């Protein structure tokens, strides 16, 4: 996915202001491959983002069946319908607050293992590039990316290309 002009400018500004010695040295040497590697590396400190697609089979493997099938506190028919509706396409998008709201209603606080597993399935550690372009998320487990239960929305997901880096470097004065 090609970066927009605004994203390229954001990347250029970040490169220019970056205090990481790897980035400073790569810019000074004109080593664009090192910049690609650094921006596509895992952000440190950890930065969490919501995935845009989670496979239903992954979700089902994460369920603590003793919680959801408990005879007293298990899922109601309405909760089962909600789960089936959310998962009917084979994947769901946890970056959408409405979907996370649904999961909170389906799996209440009395199902802590399943809720924790759903959060683990729905989030991932971001690269420096993904963190750079991320937006603060609202809703359940949403936030500034500083923790898994405060995940941000990944506006850009994936890897920067060498061309992305070249285009951004060209914008640096």
Span 55-83, pLDDT tens digits: 999 999 999 999 999 988 899 999 999 99
Task: Give per-residue burial for 130-144: e unless 16+ CB within 10 Å, then b.
Answer: bbbbbeebebbbbbe
Judgement on whether residues 137 and 164 belong to the same structural domain of the protein: no
Mean pLDDT over each residue of the chain, to the nearest integer: 95
Judgement on whether residues 87 and 21 belong to the same structural domain of the protein: no
Contact between 24 and 60 (Cβ < 8 Å): no
Q: Is the pLDDT of residue 1 over 70?
A: no
Smallest CA-to-CA distance from 35 within 172, 168, 173 is with: 168
Smallest CA-to-CA distance from 49 within 146, 167, 139, 116 is with: 146
Residue labelled with tokens 């506006």? 155
pLDDT (0 to 100) of residue 128 = 98
pLDDT (0 to 100) of residue 2 = 81
Judgement on whether residues 170 and 147 belong to the same structural domain of the protein: no
Task: Give per-residue burial for 77-106: e unless 16+ CB within 10 Å, then b.
Answer: eebeebbeebbeeebbbbbebebbebbeeb
Residue span of the structural domain in which 91 resides: 45-157
Strand segments, DSSP code E, in 57-165 are 91-92, 123-125, 152-153
Any idea what the Cα angle at residue 94 is, between residues 43 and 149, rounded to 5°?
55
Judgement on whether residues 32 and 64 belong to the same structural domain of the protein: no
pLDDT (0 to 100) of residue 102 = 93
Number of domains in the chain: 2
Judgement on whether residues 21 and 63 belong to the same structural domain of the protein: no
pLDDT (0 to 100) of residue 15 = 98
* pTM of the model as a whole: 0.91
7-32 pLDDT tens trace? 999 999 999 999 999 999 999 999 99
Judgement on whether residues 98 and 113 belong to the same structural domain of the protein: yes
Pick the range with the lowest mean pLDDT from 2-6, 41-45, 125-129. Answer: 2-6
């Amino acid at each position: 996915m090609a970066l927009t002009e605004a994203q390229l400018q954001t990347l250029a500004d970040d490169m220019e202001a970056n205090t990481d010695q790897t980035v400073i040295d790569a810019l000074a040497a004109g080593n664009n491959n090192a910049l690609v590697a650094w921006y596509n590396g895992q952000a440190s400190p950890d930065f969490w983002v919501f995935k845009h697609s989670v496979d239903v089979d992954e979700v089902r493997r994460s369920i603590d069946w003793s919680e959801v099938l408990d005879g007293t506190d298990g899922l109601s028919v309405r909760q089962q319908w909600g789960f089936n509706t959310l998962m009917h396409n084979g994947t769901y998008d946890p970056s959408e607050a409405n979907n996370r709201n649904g999961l909170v209603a389906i799996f209440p606080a009395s199902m802590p293992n399943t809720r924790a597993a759903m959060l683990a399935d729905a989030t991932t550690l971001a690269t420096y590039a993904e963190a750079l372009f991320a937006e603060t998320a609202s809703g359940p487990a949403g936030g500034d990316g500083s923790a898994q239960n405060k995940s941000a929305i990944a506006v850009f997901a994936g890897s920067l290309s060498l061309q992305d880096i070249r285009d951004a470097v060209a914008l640096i004065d």
